[in-house]
Amino acid sequence: MVSGKLLFALASVATLGSVTTASAQTIKIGWVNSYSGFLAQAGDQMEKGLNLYVKLHTKDLPPGVKVEFVRRDDTGAPEVGKRVAQELITRERVQMLMGVVASPVAAAIAPLTAEAKIPFVITNAGGVAIPRISPYVTRFSFTLWQTALPIGTWSVKQGWKRGFSAVADFIPGHDAEGAFIKGFTDAGGQMLGSVRFPPASADYAPFMQRIKDAKPDVAFVWVPAGPAATAIMKAIKDLGLREAGINIVSAHDLLPDEELPNIGAFGADIVTAGNYSTTGVRPANTAFLKAWDEEYKGKAIPNFTSVAAWDAAHAIFELIKTTKGKFTGDEAMKFFAAWKDPDSPRGPISIDPATRDMIQDIYIRRSEMKNGKLVNTDIETIKAVKDPWKELNPPK
């Protein structure tokens, strides 16, 4: 419930936005990220992608126009994210919100953007229904339905007919579970069961034991990218799931590039679906990785959150360049609706004007050891994938 005082403040901001344009001198963007909490590593990946783009391209802004990022920590908690977003809108008078790792946080923030007519550019949170909360939300990352449904379909094509799912018990985990099951069963597979565990679980062994006891051909396992990926892979190893003949598949979150050195050789020969990996052979990716290595000097490995932040910053800078820093919230959303980039590090991308979500290639990747390192290698490309959930569930 939004307080009367906040509604008045938001209405004032909305009224101001309808009759004035953004400053031609300083564009204030509220950057909401998980600097602490269980998603802090994902937040750091996203932060590095944003910072690198801004450092390299601030010189390209129109003369006299500056961009100021007003940064806030949402701690991965929805109530904190909502509070800091309120502060950014009503006190800081930002012209745009950007960022957010966690889907529950993004869902808590989205209604505020509808009241204030403030664009909200999401750079990770993949909860499928978030853009429907507010017409001022656009997303430059992905939905779990884009990645998990194809891996369900792919699994049946391998002759794996009996499935099991184990996911973190929050919005993206629910989406991943639903998408995998839809792809798997529509292709002719049978689900033997499913289990959910706390998002910040410290002990995955009991849940992996449930999978082993069910004896499926394939298990879809999903956790948020970061240390949880290494922890659950260790549980899979300790319980001997793969030795028991159970194939492990997932969305890209299970084998994020930055965790591969920690997972090591045991992570080889696992198939995941995602929108980016560092091994992607594209000129734009080569240039991105070169700039990344020069900036971070081998101390960080980019992943899909890094690239989403990079791409979103690119779109925002193009908006500022096109308008010379003078735009309303509605004008910004119209610009984003037509956004296309044929040369993103992840491949060709565009915003679907009907859903305000990404249209992008999805890569089926197999992990393997190369030169002593675990890497994700693309083995199949599904071109120009729209969010399938929104196609299956049109607005009423």
pLDDT at 8 over 60: no
Percentage of the residues of the chain whose pLDDT score is greater than 90: 92
pLDDT at 6 over 90: no
pLDDT score for 25 = 85
Q: What is the mean pLDDT of residues 162-185?
A: 97
**Per-residue model confidence as pLDDT tens digits over 364-373:** 999 999 999 9
CB neighbour burial string for 224-244, b if at least 16 within 10 angstroms, e if fewer: bbbebbbbbbbbbbebebeee
**Per-residue model confidence as pLDDT tens digits over 153-173:** 999 999 999 999 999 999 999
**Per-residue model confidence as pLDDT tens digits over 189-220:** 999 999 999 987 879 999 999 999 999 999 99
**CA gap 348, 381 in Å, rounded:** 12
DSSP one-letter string for 150-199: HHHHHHHHTT--EEEEEEESSHHHHHHHHHHHHHHHHTT-EEEEEEEE-T
Cβ within 8 Å of residue 35, ≥6 positions away: 43, 44, 47, 73, 75
Q: What is the mean pLDDT of residues 91-97?
A: 97
Cβ within 8 Å of residue 45, ≥6 positions away: 225, 256, 258, 300, 302, 303, 305, 306
pLDDT score for 19 = 35
pLDDT score for 268 = 97
CB 77 within 8 A of CB 37: yes
**Per-residue model confidence as pLDDT tens digits over 45-71:** 999 999 999 999 999 999 999 999 999
Q: How many CB atoms lie within 10 A of CB 341?
A: 18
pLDDT score for 23 = 41
**CA gap 116, 114 in Å, rounded:** 6
Please indicate whether residue 179 or residue 7 has the higher confidence score (pLDDT). 179
Average confidence score pLDDT of the chain: 93
* Selection from 229, 145, 211, 234 nearest residue 183 by Cα: 145
Instruction: Please state which of the ranges 37-41, 118-122, 270-274 shows the lowest mean pLDDT.
Output: 37-41
Q: What is the mean pLDDT of residues 288-314?
A: 97
Q: What is the mean pLDDT of residues 16-30?
A: 63
pLDDT at 393 over 70: yes
pLDDT at 17 over 70: no
Confidence grade of residue 12 (pLDDT, cut at 50, 70, 90): very low
Terminal CA-to-CA distance of the chain, rounded, Å? Answer: 24
Sign for the pseudo-dihedral over CA of 91, 92, 96, 97: negative
CB 81 within 8 A of CB 32: yes
Q: What is the mean pLDDT of residues 122-128?
A: 96
Q: What is the CA radius of gyration of the chain?
A: 21
pLDDT score for 27 = 97
pLDDT score for 1 = 41
**CA gap 147, 250 in Å, rounded:** 8
Percentage of the residues of the chain whose pLDDT score is greater than 70: 94
Q: Which residues are registered as beta bridge partners of 191?
A: 163
pLDDT score for 137 = 98
pLDDT at 175 over 80: yes
* Selection from 329, 373, 335, 375 nearest residue 119 by Cα: 329
pLDDT score for 149 = 98
